[in-house]
Chains A and B, each alone.
Chain A
Amino acid sequence: MTQIKYMILASRQGKIRLMKWYIPLTQKEKAKILRNLTTTILSRKPKMCNIVEYSDHKVVYRRYASLYFICGITAEVDNELLILEVIHRYVEAMDSYFGNVCELDIIFNFSKAYDILDEMIMCDGSIAESSKKEILFTMSNMDVMENSDNLDRVLS
């Protein structure tokens, strides 16, 4: 049922820190969504609800420190409240992976942030893994393998 259309991480200044599209869109459409959403969402007050209607779909967002996590979802199918939990799970996973994650971690290690996201959400935006432990386990295995590649190269 979870069908996330896109996940965008944006800073409080409206800078994009990460974006992932689960539906094919043209460059122009993407740019429009990014532009419109960052202005809409950044201007919302803290006490407002985290669900926004945007064009033909809904957008669920949550702010963590200086970073906004923004998810476009499929109305009628997605459960808005569950998406908030998905975002939270993702943040938790990154928090454990980086150890007290901050915006800079994501900026400089964006490919890791993508990898964690890919372990959690697959294909057309559906949840593939709900266990943080499992995600971290896979991540560390892959990191080890990547490093051993590097090691092999140095040794040879």
Chain B
Amino acid sequence: MGSSLRSFIKDVRAAKTLADERSIITKQSAKIRTKLRDDHLPLERRRKYIQKLLYLYILGEKTHFGQVECINLIASDEFVNKRLGYLSAILLLDESQDLLTLLTNLLNNDLHNSNKFVVSLALSTLGSLSSPELARDLFPDVEIILKQVQDPFLLKKALQCIAKLLLKDISLLEIFAVEDLVALWQNSAICTHGVLLGIVKVLQSILLCFINFQPTEAVEELPKDMIGKLVRFVPSLFKRLQTLNSKNFQPEYDVQGTCDPFLQCEMIYTLRLFFQIDNDEINAYMDKFGDLLTQIATNTDSNKSSGQVILYETTRTIFSLHLDQPLRVLGINILAKFLAGKDNNGKYVALNTLLEVVPQEPLAVQRHRKFISRCLHDPDVSIKKRALELTFAILDASNIKELVNELLQFLDGTTDDDSDLIVYTVDHLVDAFDIHTIAGDDWKLSVFLRILKCVGSYISSEKISDILIEINNTNNMQSKHDAVKQLLTETLENEKTNEITDDNHGWFLVTVWCLGEYADLILGQSANNIVNEESLTRLLIELHFENSLDNPKLINYILTAALKLSIKLTSGKCIDQLRDLIVSHKKDSHLMLQVKSVQYEILFDQPIDVRKSILETMPKFEKVVRTTSDLRNRPLGNTPTKKESAKPDSLIDLLGGDFGSSSNNINSNENDSKANNVGDNINPETTDAMGSDLLADLLGGNNVNTSLSLNKAVSNSVELPSQAQKIHESSSLDIYSVLINSENGSAQIDIYFEAKKNVTDIKCQCAVTKTLKLTMGPLHPSASIKEKEISVQTLKISGSGKLKLRTKLDFKVNGIMTNEQFDHKYDKVI
């Protein structure tokens, strides 16, 4: 390499600042550009500038101006020019460029050059830069090399090149002669490992063409007899692979005592492709293949990394071909050995691969859970992540206790850096408790408390709701009592112990909720000097004080808890304090809190027996996945009442009723998730009169509107359902919406237009977030409605994301075009 390249590199490296470096590079780049443009520059100097250009390429600079120049170098007769020319062509050009056509003739000539190194350069270049046109034009020239040349060096390159060209243009399969390949394969004099690598590569290309084949206009079908001709490779591949695998020592190809793992893996993969083709002749070899893989698995040394390479390839093949069960277990056991080892890469691939095979062989994988659990504590995040995924994949009723304990230990050891993993773990843990029924409420609740204590600040509100449901649904009152007692005691003692950090919102949310629901359990049986009426009241007040500015959600919970606690206390002083707490939000700028405060104050003034029945403990809650049809047909509060018929009806009203319908606006209750799940569909006529009236006024923020419009709508063909919620109002139209259903991936929303004046030609355009797809139905009964009439339009939404609507309305009032636009957010995510 010339001294000037050297000095250029030195200059760049010696630059003290980025600006210096930049100026050196820009200067040099400009110089190269002008010099290369000079037609009289001798090739020797030209080479130097191209070399500098390549250095610019490595630095990530622009090099497009040198592209034609590489082609000029290739055109030279001297080897030194060709070598650099081809090198720079491969680097500076890529397969998508038009310039490649310039290469066709040069490559064609060089493929027939008498110097084998020139031919090899041309083959490498064609292999790297093969447009479909180049592939078609030059394929015969490469094929000639296969037929005529006996030099392994050229053969291996030609084979690699052919493999690439076949993939580039599938129609070349028509003219490719498999016989050439067979002849090479059988000629042991030329079969070096390089040539064998080339042959299996061509086989792989052909097999991939068949496996992925989709008929197109250009190629309607692939040559039928081709696979038949290839079958004979299968037994002889077995043989070669076996010999290679059992070979002891060949210094040239040895990698830590394993003979050419590269070739072994390529052969195994080729065989895998063979068996992916559904052909009777090939399938007849299936058993033999299984035997061979077993043999390889037992023969190969798993302590060496080179041996692991082959064992890993073997297991991948076993799993991907769904070979027999004993083989799969063998594969799993091999991977388990990786897990037990010290090599992190082995662990990573093992976890990854086991994850894929769990559905087929859950038990065999479970057997190695000790090693999997150990990986949870690995310092490497990617291994931890995989181990977590795998742990949840093998988790079932039989091992839940053991694995959950491991997971809790994992959570104990996590830091802030692992927040993604924590969220993942908690989400899946809560789901796991949902799916598997577990004996022993004690244990389950203690797990929840531990999770909350440890990582409560990371838990999403959705999962907090799930945890609340789990606590709520616990049948064993003693367990519930113990858990609540522990929760409250620890919170009260936190001033001293400081075990729970201030940002652990999850813990405090659950504490507040439990306090509201179950304070009586504790106060009745086992009040002591830590947990008593005064201390609980004080706790609420303190939490309220600490969070009143920045945590409206918690304040929400606190308000409800205060209301509920009030009926469980005997001390008049405490009750007054709770009342003050609630009333203090009557002028809150947060609308939701204000509404609640006002409503709760009214409730507070109800006679004690009314309050008691309304503020009963929550009934057992069942998560139900509902479909549209059963939603419409089912009578009021079906699911919860059947189970808990003893509970007063008013309870259901608290859960659902009008509250459900208005939950979008004032959804603020601790029952959020419940209200949405249980409520929504409650028909007003069946609700208990007292409860529904009372609650409608108390909790249904816009219920007045709803009932008004109901009255108005009586005479109409379309009626406004009771749960309709007003999402927009203007001087001429009121818009209501009902979320009919929202399930995984789809939702249906009805939008009701109620006219205040005579409105014609309503045109409604809606948009949803990008992750969702919206289909709109027609306006029913018509796009023109008279005063107090209603028209409805159905929106179907699919995809996933938050339900948000931007709606644009065009309509005519008295013939005058009007348009309006508004946004509405549902608190549902699909």
Chain B nearest CB, measured from A44 CB (Å): 9
Within 8 A of B (CB), among A26-69: 27, 30-31, 34, 45, 47-53
Residues of B within 8 A of A (CB): 1, 6, 9, 13, 44, 51, 54-55, 58-60, 62, 78-80, 83-84, 87, 90-91, 94-96, 115, 117, 120, 124, 127-128, 153, 156-157, 160-161, 163-164, 167, 192-194, 197-198, 201, 204, 252-253, 255, 260-263, 265-266, 269-270, 305-306, 308-309, 312-313, 316, 344-349, 379-383
Q: Which residues of A contact B128 (CB under 8 A)?
A: 22, 122-123
Given A82-B261, A142-B83, A149-B78: A133 in contact with B379 (beta carbons within 8 A): no
Q: A20 within 8 Å of B by Cβ?
A: yes
Name the one of A2, A19, A45 contacting B379, with C-beta atoms under 8 angstroms.
A45
A49 engages B164 (CB within 8 Å): no
B127 engages A123 (CB within 8 Å): yes
A1 engages B265 (CB within 8 Å): yes
What is the bound-complex CA distance between A153 and B518, given in angstroms? 98
A49 engages B345 (CB within 8 Å): yes
Given A79-B312, A82-B309, A124-B164: A47 in contact with B127 (beta carbons within 8 A): no
Q: List 6 A-B contacts (CB under 8 A).
A: A1-B269, A48-B380, A49-B380, A80-B349, A122-B128, A145-B115
A145 engages B79 (CB within 8 Å): yes
B44, B55, B60, B115: most-surrounded residue (chain A CB, <10 A):
B60
Chain A nearest CB, measured from B151 CB (Å): 12
Q: Which residues of A contact B345 (CB under 8 A)?
A: 49-51, 80-81, 84
B312 engages A81 (CB within 8 Å): yes
Q: A97 within 8 Å of B by Cβ?
A: no
- The 9 A-B residue pairs whose C-beta atoms are closest, nearest first, are A123-B127, A49-B344, A1-B269, A123-B164, A24-B94, A130-B262, A48-B380, A81-B309, A49-B348
Within 8 A of B (CB), among A113-151: 114-115, 118, 122-124, 126-134, 138, 141-142, 145-146, 149-150
Known A-B contacts: A2-B262, A108-B1, A118-B90. Give 4 more (CB < 8 A): A86-B262, A126-B197, A142-B79, A153-B78
What is the bound-complex CA distance between A8 and B83, given in angstroms? 22
A84, A129, A150: most-surrounded residue (chain B CB, <10 A):
A129
Q: Which residue of chain B has the shortest Cβ distance to A53 in the bound complex?
A: B382
Q: A91 within 8 Å of B by Cβ?
A: no
Chain B nearest CB, measured from A113 CB (Å): 10
B379 engages A138 (CB within 8 Å): no
Q: Which residues of B contact A30 (CB under 8 A)?
A: 60
A107 engages B9 (CB within 8 Å): yes
B349 engages A127 (CB within 8 Å): no
Residues of A within 8 A of B (CB): 1-2, 16-22, 24-25, 27, 30-31, 34, 45, 47-53, 79-82, 84-86, 88-89, 107-111, 114-115, 118, 122-124, 126-134, 138, 141-142, 145-146, 149-150, 153
Q: Which residue of chain A has the shortest Cβ distance to B267 in the bound complex?
A: A1
What is the bound-complex CA distance between A127 and B344, given in angstroms? 25
What is the bound-complex CA distance between A33 and B330, given in angstroms? 38
B58 engages A110 (CB within 8 Å): yes
Q: Which residue of chain A has the shortest Cβ distance to B256 in the bound complex?
A: A85
Name the one of B163, B197, B305 contacting A81, with C-beta atoms under 8 angstroms.
B305
Name the one of B1, B164, B252, B349 contacting A111, with C-beta atoms under 8 angstroms.
B1
What is the bound-complex CA distance between A71 and B265, given in angstroms? 18
B316 engages A79 (CB within 8 Å): yes
Q: Which residues of A contact B79 (CB under 8 A)?
A: 142, 145-146, 149
What is the bound-complex CA distance between A153 and B44, given in angstroms? 10
B80 engages A150 (CB within 8 Å): yes
What is the bound-complex CA distance between A17 and B12, given in angstroms? 13
B87 engages A114 (CB within 8 Å): yes
Q: Which residues of B contact A110 (CB under 8 A)?
A: 54-55, 58
Q: Which residues of B contact A132 (CB under 8 A)?
A: 252
Q: Which residue of chain B has the shortest Cβ distance to A17 in the bound complex?
A: B58
Chain A nearest CB, measured from B66 CB (Å): 14
What is the bound-complex CA distance between A80 and B345, given in angstroms? 8
Name the one of B156, B305, B382 contacting A51, with C-beta atoms under 8 angstroms.
B382
What is the bound-complex CA distance between A96 and B316, given in angstroms? 34
What is the bound-complex CA distance between A127 and B78, given in angstroms? 28
Q: Which residue of chain B has the shortest Cβ distance to A9 in the bound complex?
A: B58
B266 engages A2 (CB within 8 Å): yes
What is the bound-complex CA distance between A16 and B260, given in angstroms? 30
Q: Which residue of chain B has the shortest Cβ distance to A24 in the bound complex?
A: B94
What is the bound-complex CA distance between A110 and B91, given in angstroms? 12
Q: Which residues of A contact B194 (CB under 8 A)?
A: 128-131, 134
B346 engages A81 (CB within 8 Å): yes
Q: Which residues of A contact B13 (CB under 8 A)?
A: 107
A1 engages B204 (CB within 8 Å): yes
What is the bound-complex CA distance between A89 and B96, given in angstroms? 31
Q: Which residues of A contact B346 (CB under 8 A)?
A: 81
Q: Which residues of B contact A129 (CB under 8 A)?
A: 156, 193-194, 197
Chain B nearest CB, measured from A15 CB (Å): 9
Given A123-B163, A128-B197, A131-B194: A49 in contact with B382 (beta carbons within 8 A): yes
